[in-house]
Each structure stands twice: as C-alpha cells, then as structure tokens.
Amino acid sequence: MPNLADVTAADFKARYPSFDSKPDAYVTAVLNEARGEVNDAWIEQDQVPALLVYTAYLIASEAAAGASVAVGDGLNVGVSGALTEVWVGDVKAKFADVKSGSGGGSGSGSSISPAAALYWSEFERLRRRSFPAMMVV
C-alpha cells in the first residue's frame, strides 16, 4: 500500500470510479485537505483507505452542499444540493440548509446525500479502530 503522501488522484479514482469525471486537480486538492485529517497516528493498514474514503466523503458532501470549488487555473467545479444532518454513532455532522438559508435540522426540507453518509460511516468505522473511545471510571 502506498504511503499517505504518495496517494494520487489516479489512486483515488481507481478505488472510487464514480468520481472519474472530477478533474484531477480538484481531486488532488481534496486529497491534500483530507491529509490533514488522516496521518501516521492511524493504524497503518487503515491509513490509505481512510484517506481515500474521507476524500470521497468531502467530494460527496461538497456536491450535496451547493458549493463551487476553485481548483486553480481559473477552473471551478460546481456542485449542488444540501447536507443537513447525519449521525454516525456519537458523531454528528450538520451543515446549513441552502434552500432556506438557515441552519439545517430535522424537517428543513433537505437531506444528506446517501453516498456522503456511506463514506462518512466508513470513515468513522476506520477512525474508531485507530482511536477507540475511552471509558473513565
């Protein structure tokens, strides 16, 4: 398995071919962002899978949040939709509701992307293997 620093857009697209249409410059920018979350403190065999799935989560979340991301050389990647709330175990992700301009929440009319929820769930599963919850007695 490659080192975290050696993972490329091609590696990402090989694992997640549904993102083949995304420009390599965009995927590389998101991979670099994801490297801030996944590092050498993780279980070694989970590092690259966690980096790849977190990158997939970020891209799917941006697609669901109505963002337009500048990736350099005047290239923007536009995305649409809205992510409002998702729980994975004891971790909650909640973003603003683009339609109403207010904070998201139950009944706000938008929903999380099923793909983003799947990627987040897998990322959290891997994170918990490396950083299990501690019980204080």
137 in any annotated domain: no
| pLDDT for residue 107 | 42
Enclosing domain of residue 95: 4-130
User: Does some domain include residue 105?
Assistant: yes
The whole-number pLDDT of residue 69 equals 45
The answer to whether residue 136 sits within a structural domain is: no
Give the closest residue to 7 by CA, choosing from 39, 66, 122, 82. Answer: 39
Residue 65 domain-assigned?
yes
- What are the tens digits of pLDDT across the range 49-83? 999 999 999 999 887 555 444 445 554 444 444 44
Residue 109 lies in a domain: yes
Residue 29 lies in a domain: yes
Residue 89: the pLDDT is 60
Where the chain has pLDDT below 70, the residues are: 1, 64-112
pLDDT at 106: 42
Q: What's the pTM?
A: 0.68
Residues near 46 by beta carbon (within 8 Å), at least 6 away in sequence: 126, 129, 130
Count structural domains, the chain: 1
